[in-house]
Structure 1
C-alpha cells in the first residue's frame, strides 16, 4: 500500500478538486492524478467519480476514506510518539540480509525521510553467519534479519511475516507441484545455509552422497539449487527479488518466515528509533490492509 497515495486520496476527498489537492502536496496535477489512479487500480475499484465539471466520492470512496484517515493517523502517531533527542542524524548504517523489508521498503523510507530529510542511509549486505553479530559489534546501527532465534540479547521488532517456499530445480519432479510438505522432500539432498541457527539448520541436514552445497546468504539459494540440483528453502518474496530461470518457487507447508529489525537494547539515538517506529508502523498498515 502506497502511504503517500493514501495521503493524496484523503486530500482529494477534502477538496474534491485535483488541482487544489495537488498543490497542497507541492506536486503537479498530472503525476498527482496518476498516483490516485494507481491506488484505485491496486484496490480494484474507483474511489472518485470524475466529470469535466466536478469530482465526487464514489460509494467505495465513501467507505474507504474514513478508514484511510484512521490508518494514516495511527501511522503518523507511531512515529511522532518517538521520544528521541533531536540531534543531527548523520549516517544510519543498516545491515540487510536477503530482500530485507521486501515490498515495505518504499513506505518505510518515505516515513524516515519525512522525519529526518538530511539523514544518510548506508546499507551493508549481511550473511546468515553475521546477521546478529554485526549489530552486537556495532558494525551496523540496526539490521534487517531473518528471525531464526539465537538473538535474545538484541531487541527484535518483527515487521514482516511471509509464507515459506521450496526452491526446486525447474526440471525436477517437484517443479510441477502446486504445494509441498515436509514429507514430500524427506530424503532429498538439500542446500545448507552456513552459519544459520536452529531455525534454519534443520533444513541443511542430509548432505549425504555428493558432498555438501552451502550458501551464506538468501541471495545465493536459487543459484545453488540450479547448479547442484538440490532443494532449498526460502521466504515467499524471494520469487520476486531473486528470480532465476533454473528454479521454481513452490509454496511449502511449515512455519512462516519472519523478518525483524534488530538493534542493540537501550539504543535511543533518533535515527535508530525513528527507523524502528517507521518499520513497525508500515508493518501495521500492511497487516491491516484497507479494502474498499
Structure 2
C-alpha cells in the first residue's frame, strides 16, 4: 500500500478541499488527486464523496482513516527508533534524474575519506515525490531539481545546469545551434508535472495532456510525440536518444540542490552534505585551472 497516499488522504480528511490539501504537501492538485484515486482503487471503496461544491468523507472513509492514522503513527515511531540505533550506518539517498551528474565519483571519494563506515542506499525519485520523500523519512537526504515550495526543508543549491531544448531530429529546429524562447513559444510541448513551479520552468501547459513525471522520460516523450521538451545540459550525456537532439535554449537553467529535514543533525547527513558541496568546489577549481 502507498504509505504517502495514506498521508495525503488524512490531510484531505482534515482540509476537505483537494487544492488546500495538495498545497500542504507541496504537490500539484492533479497529482494529489491521482494518488487519492489510486488508493481508493486499491482499497476497493471510495473514501471521499466529491461534488462541484464540497468534499466529504464516505462511511468507508470514516471507518478506514482513523485506523490509517494509528498505523502511520506507529510506523513513524519505528522509523525514529531505527534512526536512533543503527549498528550499521546506512544513508538513504533520494535521487531525481541524473542527480549530481558528473560529481558522484568525487562525492563518494570524499565521503569515504571521512566516513568509511557509511553505506549508501539509492532511492529513485520523481518530480512528485522529490520533496515528500524527505519530509516523510523515506530518504535521509535527496538530490532534487529545486523548483521552490520546500520552505519547510533545508535546501541548499549545489549547481546550475544550463537550459536545453529537446527537439525531434526531423524538426527543422534540429539544424539550429542555439534556440531562444520565441523559436519555440508556439510549439506544443511535453510538460513536466508533479510540483508547483515546474510549469514555469518547463514552459507552461502541455496543451494536450503530454506529461512526464521524471527527467528520464523527457527524451522518449519527445521522440514519441514530436513535441518540444525541456531539460538540463547533463541530460545529453545521461539520457541520449537517437531520435532527439539537445540544443542550448535561453532561459532559466535547472537548479540542482540537496534537501534534508530541518533539525536533522545526524553526522551521516552532515557528512553527505559536506561531501556534495566540497565536490562542487573541486569542480569549480578544476574549471578555473583549465581556463
Q: Could you tell me which residue of structure 1 aligns to residue 186 of structure 2?
A: 187
Q: Could you tell me which residue of structure 2 aligns to residue 110 of structure 1?
A: 109
Structure of higher RCO (CA pairs closer than 8 Å, 6+ residues apart): 1
TM-score by length of 1: 0.67
1:276 aligned to which of 273, 277, 280: 273
Distance 1:253 1:186, change over 3 A: same
Distance 1:212 1:243, change over 3 A: same
Q: Could you tell me which residue of structure 1 aligns to residue 215 of structure 2?
A: 218
Q: Deviations over 1:39-58 (max 9, x none)?
A: xxxxxxxxxxxxxxxxxxxx
Q: Could you tell me which residue of structure 1 aligns to residue 195 of structure 2?
A: 196
1:257 aligned to which of 254, 257, 266: 254
- Structure 2, unaligned runs of 5 or more: 1-85
Q: Could you tell me which residue of structure 2 aligns to residue 79 of structure 1?
A: none
Q: Could you tell me which residue of structure 2 aligns to residue 243 of structure 1?
A: 240
Q: Could you tell me which residue of structure 2 aligns to residue 92 of structure 1?
A: 91
Distance 1:135 1:206, change over 3 A: closer
Q: Could you tell me which residue of structure 2 aligns to residue 21 of structure 1?
A: none
Q: Could you tell me which residue of structure 1 aligns to residue 79 of structure 2?
A: none
Distance 1:89 1:275, change over 3 A: farther
Distance in 1 (CA, whole Å) between partners of 2:93 and 2:218 is 22
TM-score by length of 2: 0.67
- Indicate conservation of the 8 Å contact 1:93/1:124, yes or no: yes
Find the structure with the greater CA-based Rg: 1
Deviation at 1:201, TM superposition (A): 4.3
Distance in 1 (CA, whole Å) between partners of 2:125 and 2:148 is 16
2:230 aligned to which of 219, 227, 233: 233
Q: Could you tell me which residue of structure 2 aligns to residue 152 of structure 1?
A: 151
- Structure 1, unaligned runs of 5 or more: 1-86
Number of matched pairs: 205
Deviation at 1:268, TM superposition (A): 0.9
Distance in 2 (CA, whole Å) between partners of 1:218 and 1:282 is 23
Deviation at 1:206, TM superposition (A): 4.2
Distance in 2 (CA, whole Å) between partners of 1:175 and 1:287 is 31
Distance in 2 (CA, whole Å) between partners of 1:181 and 1:196 is 25
1:165 aligns with 2:178: no
- Indicate conservation of the 8 Å contact 1:188/1:206, yes or no: no
| Higher mean displacement: 277-286 or 91-100 | 277-286
Q: Could you tell me which residue of structure 1 aligns to residue 283 of structure 2?
A: 286
Distance 1:254 1:102, change over 3 A: same
1:267 aligns with 2:247: no
Distance in 2 (CA, whole Å) between partners of 1:96 and 1:89 is 22
Distance in 1 (CA, whole Å) between partners of 2:282 and 2:152 is 28
